[in-house]
Amino acid sequence: NLYALNMASPNVDVNTLNQMVNGINKAIDYKTEVAIVGHKNPDCDSVCSAIAYANLKRYLGIRAKAFVSGKINNETKFALKYFEVPTPEVMTDATDKTVILVDHNAYNQAVGGMKEANIVEILDHHGLGDIKTDSPILVRTAPVGSTATIVFELYLQYGIRVSKRMAGLLAEYALPVHW
C-alpha cells in the first residue's frame, strides 16, 4: 500500500505537492522521535541525506534524528569532519521505531528489525524495492543521481534556507543538478 509520488512528474504542481505533504505530516504520529536512516554499508549519499533530511524535518517541527546503519567510509568521514557535523549514532535494530528510509527501499538493504518498524516515509533515487507497510506512506522517488538531490529539492520546496553545513553535505551530489 505504498503511496508513490514521483517528484519529477510534470503533472504535480508545487501547491498540490505541499498540500499532500502537509496532510501526510499531520496524519503521521510524530509524538515519538522519527529515526532517519540510510542503507547498510553507508555511503556519503546515504549518511548526508539522512542528516540533512533530519535537519529539514526539525525545521518543520518534527522530532527527527539521523542514524547510520553501520561503519561509515572515508569519504563520508572526510565530509562530516570538513563541515563539522558529528557522525550520527549507529542503528542496528529498527524494531518498534518510527522510521524514514533514505537512499534505499528494500529489506535486504535495511538495518535489522525493519519489518517490525513503523516506516512512515521513503526518499530514494533507486527503483522500488520490497518494503511493505500496513498503511499508506509518502514515497518520494525521482530519476536523479542521488537522494541528496531530492532532499535539496525539498528544502527549496519548503522555502527553507539551506545552512552552509547542510549545503556542504549535499553539494557533492545535489547542487550541480540545479546550476
Q: Is 10 exposed, middle or buried (0-12, 13-18, 19+ CB in 10 A)?
A: exposed
HSE (CB half, 13 Å, CA atoms) of 62? Answer: 25
- Residue 131 confidence (pLDDT): 93
Q: Is the pLDDT confidence value at 31 over 70?
A: no
- Residue 17 confidence (pLDDT): 59
Give residue 32's pLDDT band: very low, low, confident or very high (50, 70, 90).
confident
User: Which H or E element spans position 56?
Assistant: helix 44-59
Task: Give per-residue burial for 113-122: e unless 16+ CB within 10 Å, then b.
Answer: ebeebbbbbb
Give residue 26's pLDDT band: very low, low, confident or very high (50, 70, 90).
low
Q: Is 178 exposed, middle or buried (0-12, 13-18, 19+ CB in 10 A)?
A: exposed
- Residue 5 confidence (pLDDT): 40
Task: Choose among 167, 131, 129, 164: nearest CA to 149.
Answer: 167
Determine the average pLDDT of the residues in 85-98: 97
**Residues 6 or more apart from 62 whose CB is under 8 A from it?**
25, 30, 34
DSSP state of 158: H
Q: Helix, strand or coil for residue 2?
A: coil
Of the listed ranges 21-35, 107-121, 131-145, the one predicted with least confidence: 21-35
